[in-house]
Amino acid sequence: MSNFLWFKKIFYSVFHIRRQREITFIMINIGIAGYGNLGKACERIAAQSNIFEVKGIFTRRNPSEVVSPLFGTPVYAQSEICDFEGEIDVVCICTGSAHDVTDLGKSLARRFNTVDSFDTHAEMRGYVSEMNRIATQNDRLCFVGIGWDPGLFSLMRALFCGVLPDGDTQTFWGRGVSQGHSEAIRRIDGVANAKQYTVPKEEAIRLAGEGKAASLCDRDRHMRECYVVAKDGADREAIREKIVTMPNYFAPYDTTVTFVSEEEFEKNHSTMAHGGFVMRSGEANGTRHNLEFSLRLDSNPDFTASVLMAYAAANARLYESGLRGAKTVLDVPVSALFDGCYCDIVKKFV
Amino acid sequence: MSNFLWFKKIFYSVFHIRRQREITFIMINIGIAGYGNLGKACERIAAQSNIFEVKGIFTRRNPSEVVSPLFGTPVYAQSEICDFEGEIDVVCICTGSAHDVTDLGKSLARRFNTVDSFDTHAEMRGYVSEMNRIATQNDRLCFVGIGWDPGLFSLMRALFCGVLPDGDTQTFWGRGVSQGHSEAIRRIDGVANAKQYTVPKEEAIRLAGEGKAASLCDRDRHMRECYVVAKDGADREAIREKIVTMPNYFAPYDTTVTFVSEEEFEKNHSTMAHGGFVMRSGEANGTRHNLEFSLRLDSNPDFTASVLMAYAAANARLYESGLRGAKTVLDVPVSALFDGCYCDIVKKFV
DSSP letters spanning A160-195: HHHH--EEEEEEEE-SEE-HHHHHHHHTSTTEEEEE
Query: What are the Cα distances from residue A284, in Å, to A145, A292, A339?
Result: 31, 16, 36
- Is the CB of A284 less than 8 angstroms away from the CB of B302? yes
Whether A12 shows a pLDDT value over 90: the answer reads no
Is B66's pLDDT higher than 90? yes
Give B113-133 pLDDT, tens digit per residue: 999 999 888 899 999 999 999
pLDDT grade, residue B313 (50/70/90)? very high
Contact A292 B292 (CB under 8 A): yes
Rounded to whole angstroms, the Cα distance separating A57 from A39 reads: 8
- Give the separation between CA B177 and CA B274, rounded to whole angstroms: 7
The three-state secondary structure class of B292 is: strand
Residue A283 C-beta-side C-alpha neighbours within 13 Å: 6
Query: Are residues A306 and B129 in contact, defined by beta-carbon separation less than 8 angstroms?
Result: no
B200 in Cβ contact with B172 (< 8 Å): yes
Q: What is the mean pLDDT of residues B127-140?
A: 98
Cis peptide before A175 (omega within 30 of 0): yes
What 3-state DSSP class applies to A314? helix
Cα B129 to Cα B327: distance, rounded to the nearest angstrom: 10
The yes-or-no verdict on residue B84 having pLDDT over 60 is yes
Residue type at B105?
Answer: G
Average pLDDT over residues B202-223: 93
Tell me which amino acid residue A149 is.
Answer: D
* A3-150+301-349: CATH architecture: 3-Layer(aba) Sandwich (3.40)
Choose among A145, A162, A306: nearest Cβ to B334: A162
Is A285–B293 a contact, with Cβ atoms under 8 angstroms apart?
no
Section B306-325 average pLDDT: 97
pTM, rounded to two decimals: 0.91
pLDDT at A83 over 50: yes
Q: Which of B162, B285, B298 is closest, CB to CB, to A337? A: B162
- One of 3.40.50.720, 3.30.360.10, 3.40.1710.10, 3.90.79.10 is the CATH number of A176-272, namely 3.30.360.10
* Closest by Cβ to B44, choosing from A125, A128, A285: A285
Condensed to tens digits (0 to 9), the pLDDT of residues A172-183 reads 999 999 888 998
Q: How far is B242 from chain A (nearest CA, A)?
A: 32
B126 vs B147: CA distance, rounded Å: 18
Closest CA of chain A from B232, distance in Å = 36
Nearest to A287 among B290, B302, B338 (CB): B302
Q: How far apart are CA B149 and CA B169, in angstroms?
A: 15
Task: Find, in chain B, the residue whose alpha carbon is nearest to that of A209.
Answer: B296
Give how far Cα A77 sits from Cα of A20, A31, A37, A67, Å. Answer: 32, 12, 18, 12
CA nearest neighbour of B324 among B92, B111, B116, B139: B139
Q: Min CA distance, A50 vs chain B (Å)?
A: 11
Residues of B in contact with A293 (CB under 8 A): 291-293
The DSSP output letter for B231 is: P
* Alpha-carbon separation of residue B261 from A84, B177, B237, B271 (angstroms): 76, 18, 16, 16
Q: What's the N-to-C CA distance of chain A in angstroms?
A: 41
pLDDT tens sequence across A96-108: 777 889 999 999 9
Residues B209 and A254: their CA atoms lie apart, in Å, by 31
Lowest mean pLDDT among A106-115, B117-126, B305-314, B329-338: B117-126
Inter-chain residue contact B45 with A285, CB threshold 8 Å = yes
Of the ranges A35-44, A91-100, A135-144, B331-340, which one carries the lowest mean pLDDT score? A91-100
Banded model confidence at residue B14, pLDDT cuts 50, 70, 90: very low
Which of B2-16, B165-179, B273-287 shows the lowest per-residue confidence on average (mean pLDDT)? B2-16
Residues B300-321, mean pLDDT to the nearest whole number: 97
Do B284 and A302 lie within an 8 Å CB cutoff?
Answer: yes
Q: Which pLDDT score is estimated for A25? A: 56
Chain A residues with CB inside 8 Å of B287's CB? Answer: 297-299, 302-303
Residue ranges of the domains in chain A?
3-150+301-349, 176-272
- Using 50, 70 and 90 to split pLDDT, how confident is the model at B228? very high
CA B209/CA B155 separation, integer angstroms: 19
Q: Residue A322 pLDDT more than 50?
A: yes
Calculate the CA B171 to chain-centre distance: 16
Cα–Cα distance for residue pair A83/A194, rounded to 1 Å: 41
Report which residue type is found at B207.
L
- Does B176-272 match B3-150+301-349 at the fold level? no
Could you report how far apart the first and last alpha carbons of chain B are, in Å? 41
User: What does the pLDDT look like over A187-221, one tens digit per residue?
Assistant: 999 999 999 999 999 999 999 999 999 999 999 99
Whether the Cβ atoms of residue B259 and residue B228 lie closer than 8 Å to each other: yes
ipTM of the complex: 0.91
Q: Please give the Cα distance from B221 to B219 (Å, whole number).
A: 6
Average pLDDT over residues B200-229: 94
Closest chain B C-alpha to A241 CA, distance in angstroms = 34
**Which of A21-52 are b and which e, b meaning 16 or more Cβ less than 10 Å from the residue's Cβ?**
eeeeebbbbbbbbbbebbbbbbbbbbbebebb
User: Residues A349, B131, B93, CA angle at the centre, nearest 5°?
Assistant: 85
